Amino acid sequence: MSLIRGNTGDWEIVIGLEVHAQVSSNAKLFSGAATAYGAEPNTQVSLIDAAMPGMLPVINEWCVAQAVRTGIALNAQINRHSVFDRKNYFYPDLPQGYQISQFKQPIVGEGRMVIDLDDGETMTVGIERLHLEQDAGKSMHDQRPGETLIDLNRSGVALMEIVSKPDMRSPEQAGAYMRKLRTILRYIGSCDGNMEEGSLRCDANVSVRRPGGPLGTRCEIKNLNSIRHIMRAIEFEAHRQIGIIEDGGSISQETRLYDVNKGETRTMRSKEEAHDYRYFPDPDLLPLKFDEAFVETQRAALPELPDAKKARFQDQYGLSAYDAGVLVGEQVSADFFETAAKGRDAKLVANWMSTELFGALNRLSKGIEESPVSAEALGGLVDLIQDGTISGRIAKEVFAEMLETGETAGQVVERKGLKQVSDEGAIAAAIDQVIAANPDKLAEYRGGKTKLAGFFVGQVMKATGGKANPQVVNKLLNDKLNA
């Protein structure tokens, strides 16, 4: 457990996350207006989104299906009957004067998600609920001095609010939760998970307590838009709360903002209560009802999910939990792996991906879908290692060339003459030369300094331009040195 040592003893952080995930949908939750990111302000606003008098919302079935699919992927209760409520508040970019959301009867109830921690361990985090709601518009304060402009393009866009139980105990666990949630959303395609574009935003609830003691009062940090910010904000907030309590103060429940530049949280407003919003069922919308068959159709159409894929990779390919976890982090890398590993040494392929390939892509700031070396090409390289054409060491050189030129492994080996020499006669000749050139070292070796074997191997490899088959070199050298 990760505890924080204070002046008066140890403290435990308690974290619950509320995530807003924008539904990937061409139309809004209650209107047919478009939802494209980055469009000119106020070009994607229907009369419904602008809350003109007399307009009536019409539920978008696609968005409902995405919420159900997400609920299933979160191992959650799918409620056959749910209700849309009005959450009443004034905001200049909320023309209705209320947000249509779900309160007492959300579309998805309790569930759970397994998160993958850095050390290869896993942990289960409870899901409290998932509900559908509309997004608000955007107030822009930085376009014209002294004026605020309003863009309603986002008004009415469908969001899934996914609320966790207060089950996390460290910033790292919160980061792992966000990563896993994003992975699942991307696998099923219900949200693109793009945090920079605001498709995925997080409110972090943080409190501190004595290890195992009763829950403390929480503060909610609003609108965090990167995993790094989430982790840093939680870290700062926990220390702030501990400082206050240790100084004899107490925490007041409030909503706070994270200042990215200062790395601090500060008060935004004192916490509002549910009753402040005067929730009531929206009279313009019927309750949402669907039958078991609808849910089953959605379930049957889901792709293989990350946990199942990870278990299968361990099982079918003999990968470690860690390697399997890394590979299933993105659907494209999992697919890449399976293509490359087909009929080959899967562990070797996994190794090449997690070290050389991911390392190179990192340096090039490229995603795996833009990899200059395709899955087939990597597979081809592994073939040459497996059949002894090249050694693992030469393979690195070949891989670097493949990255650069886009050639296949075979082409690089051919062009540069890198074929491994396994011919015993040729290698034996090289060994004889090396031994003849180093009589003093040979004497030392035979006098008991057996560590010098490494020196001889190095010399033989050098003499053969690194192309000698290391196994053959070791065997023959051993024979000759000890002759």
Q: Applying CB under 6 A, which residues contact ligand ADP?
A: 14-18, 128, 163-166, 205-207, 215-216, 218
Measure the CA–CA gap between 257 and 276, rounded to whole angstroms.
21
Least Å distance, CB 215 to ligand ADP, is 4
Residue with tokens 């065997």: 475
Indicate the residue among 162 and 353 with the shorter CB distance to ligand ADP: 162
Smaller CB distance to ligand ADP: residue 232 or 309? 232
Q: Cβ 15 to ligand ADP, closest distance in Å?
A: 6
Question: Which of residues 278 and 415 has its CB atom nearest to ligand ADP in the complex?
Answer: 278
Least separation, in Å, of the C-beta of 330 and ligand ADP? 26
DSSP state of 189: T
In the complex, the smallest distance separating the C-beta of residue 416 from ligand ADP, rounded to whole angstroms, is 57
Cβ distance 15 to 174 under 8 Å? yes
DSSP result, 116-183? E-TTS-EEEEEEEEEEEEE---EEEEEEETTEEEEE-TTTT-EEEEEEE-S-B-SHHHHHHHHHHHHH
Nearer to ligand ADP, 186 or 218 (CB): 218
- Cα separation of 102 and 352, whole Å? 47
Rounded least distance, CB 16 to ligand ADP, Å: 2
213 vs 287, which CB is nearer to ligand ADP? 213
Collect all residues with Cβ–Cβ distance below 8 Å to 315 and sequence separation of at least 6: none
Smallest separation (angstroms) from ligand ADP to the CB of 91:
18
Cα gap 390→386, rounded to integer Å: 8
Give me the DSSP letters along 64-101: HHHHHHHHHHTT-PBPSEE--EEEE---TT-TTSEEEE
C-beta closer to ligand ADP: residue 216 or 325: 216
Helix, coil or strand: residue 281? strand
Report the distance separating Cα 402 and Cα 400, nearest Å. Answer: 5
Whichever of 116 and 220 has its CB closer to ligand ADP, that residue is 220
CA–chain centroid gap for 164, Å, is 17
Nearest residue (CB) to ligand ADP, 22 versus 207: 207
The answer to whether 97 touches 157, Cβ cutoff 8 Å, is no
Q: How many helices (H) and strands (E) does the chain have?
A: 16, 16
Q: How far apart are CA 433 and CA 186, in angstroms?
A: 59
DSSP 17: E
Nearer to ligand ADP, 37 or 91 (CB): 91
The two structure tokens encoding residue 9:
């003893």
CB of 258 to ligand ADP, least distance (A): 16
Nearest approach in angstroms of CB 156 to ligand ADP is 22
Smallest gap from Cβ 166 to ligand ADP, in A, equals 4
Q: In this chain, which residue has its C-beta nearest to ligand ADP? A: 16
CB closer to ligand ADP, 106 vs 325: 106
Q: Judged by CB, which is closer to ligand ADP: 274, or 308?
A: 274
Alpha helices in 318-468 (DSSP H): 321-328, 331-341, 346-352, 358-364, 375-386, 392-405, 409-416, 424-437, 439-446, 453-463
Output the smallest distance, CB 246 to ligand ADP, in A. 18
DSSP character at residue 353: I
Q: Is 207 in a helix, a strand, or coil?
A: strand
Q: Shortest gap between Cβ of 200 and ligand ADP (angstroms)? A: 16
Reading the block at residue 109, the tokens are 């109830």
Q: Provide the 10 A C-beta neighbour count for residue 330.
A: 18
CA atoms within 13 Å, Cβ hemisphere of 191: 32
Nearest-approach distance from CB 211 to ligand ADP, in angstroms: 14
CB atoms within 10 A of CB 2: 10
In the bound state with ligand ADP, the residue whose beta carbon lies nearer, of 196 and 273, is 273
Identify which of residues 49 and 128 has a Cβ nearer to ligand ADP in the complex.
Answer: 128
State the minimum distance, in angstroms, from the CB of residue 126 to ligand ADP. 8
